[in-house]
Amino acid sequence: MKQDLIERLTRYVTIDTQSDPESTTTPSTEKQWNLLNLLNDELTDLGLETDVDEQGYLFATLDSNVDANLPTIGFLAHVDTSPDFNAANVNPQIIEHYDGAPIQLGNTNRVLNQGVFPAMKHVEGHTLMVTDGTSLLGADDKAGVVEIMEALKYLTEHPEIKHGRIRIAFTPDEEIGRGPHHFDVDRFDADFAYTMDGSEYGELQYESFNAAEAVVTCHGVNVHPGSAKDAMINAVLLGQQFNTLLPQNEVPERTEGYEGFYHLMKINGDVEKTTLQYIIRDHDRNNFELRKKRLVEIKNDINSHYEDEPIEIEINDQYFNMGEKIAAEPHVIDIPKRVFEKLDIPSNTAPIRGGTDGSQLSYMGLPTPNIFTGCDNFHGPYEYASIDVMEKAVHVIIGIAKEVVETYQK
């Protein structure tokens, strides 16, 4: 299976499917269709019935091969890759039996080494796919796509493995936060599902951040600096003041686990107008609401010193902690936990410190935890995939399909 995984992953990552946050279409880029159309053909070749809509949501069905009333399960992965780094002309490299030594990435000065990326210690001895240093790899989430496709291939080639009805979804635009925006849960018609979009071996994630975006706009008054006394309002300094009033230790680089943060993503402007773009994250809903409230209080405090209230703020919720929904349906987690145990995979249920389509889908009525793919260092040239762990992920998908039969036929 390892060689099949390498060949399929190579085939998919060399297709540029980068999404575009500035686009107003769905998918946000036409090139995502190149992989979606290929997948549609490959699913059809496997004998699956497919259904793709005009917005790039590709669904497929593997029919049940048992005479029993079983829940329908789903597996999902997104086809787009991050807009944060070059995703064109991906040239994957294979490292056999990784020995822990630094890996020179192509002809660049970029080196993949454990001193910077200590998690690589866990993939020593594995076959790795890495970049040539000029692009991201796109294993986020084409590794998940590969794992689902290989599991489907295995199940169709081994009809003696009993399974219920399985639904598949390959979706666009996850990397720009829009993956579930046009996802039709009723059309997908599954009782629960799993995103194959995690990272390190053993991840089984069913808690996520509550998330919001905030845009702070500072309006200044620009006059000649020689006559600025008591007249100039410097919007750049207002922005600096605003950020300084936030807790300086509650930032991504100083938090972990369940700790939330404010993340200043971007600052643009001049004396007359400056904007600050934040994301706000917290696993606890009450703390999340307090974080948003704090931003408004800082705005009000600064504005109280000015007649024209120079600071505006717009806050928009993005998604909520899917654990609030999944906790009510513990079987959705218990099934993969039993599979992990049978496959001797240590289960890591630490909360996601990032986004996943499952966060929004769970609130749309489809409980959707997240499972590891075996990849790391997403969104940049240091991205890598462990083919060995990907093989384990394939067996997890197959195992879940079998476990559903065993669970509900008892």
pLDDT digits (tens, 9 = 90+) for 390-410: 999 999 999 999 999 999 886
Q: Phi, psi at residue 92, to the nearest 5°?
A: -70, 145
| CB of 200 closer than 8 Å to CB of 376 | yes
Name the amino acid, one letter, at 193: A
The pLDDT assigned to 350 comes to 87
The pLDDT assigned to 162 comes to 96
The closest of 223, 213, 216 to 310, measured between CA atoms, is 216
| CATH assignment, 2-207+321-408 | 3.40.630.10
Its pTM stands at 0.88
Ranges of the chain whose pLDDT falls below 70 = 410
CB crowding 278-292: b at 16 or more within 10 Å, else e: bbbbbbeeeebeebb
The pLDDT assigned to 357 comes to 86
80 is known as an active-site residue: yes
Tell me, which fold does domain 210-319 have in CATH?
Alpha-Beta Plaits (3.30.70)
From 80, 147, 173, 383, active-site residue: 80
- What is the CB-side half-sphere exposure of residue 224 using CA atoms within 13 A? 2
The pLDDT assigned to 356 comes to 79
From 174, 357, 383, 391, active-site residue: 174
Q: Give the CA distances from residue 260 to residues 164, 288, 345, 398, in Å, rounded to whole numbers and listed in that order.
A: 39, 8, 29, 35
The pLDDT assigned to 78 comes to 97
The pLDDT assigned to 209 comes to 93
Q: Measured between alpha carbons, how far is 43 from 16 in angstroms, rounded to an integer?
A: 20
Q: Which two tokens stand for residue 376?
A: 């790391």
Q: Which two tokens stand for residue 107?
A: 């002809």
The pLDDT assigned to 410 comes to 65
- Span(s) in the chain for CATH 3.40.630.10: 2-207+321-408
Chain centre to alpha carbon of residue 195: 9
Question: Across the beta sheet with 375-376, what order do the strands follow?
Answer: 93-95, 128-130, 384-386, 375-376
Q: Measured between alpha carbons, how far is 172 from 56 in angstroms, rounded to an integer?
A: 6
Q: Measured between alpha carbons, how far is 187 from 300 in angstroms, rounded to an integer?
A: 45
Q: Which two tokens stand for residue 132?
A: 């040539």
- Span(s) in the chain for CATH 3.30.70.360: 210-319
The closest of 401, 402, 361, 338 to 166, measured between CA atoms, is 401
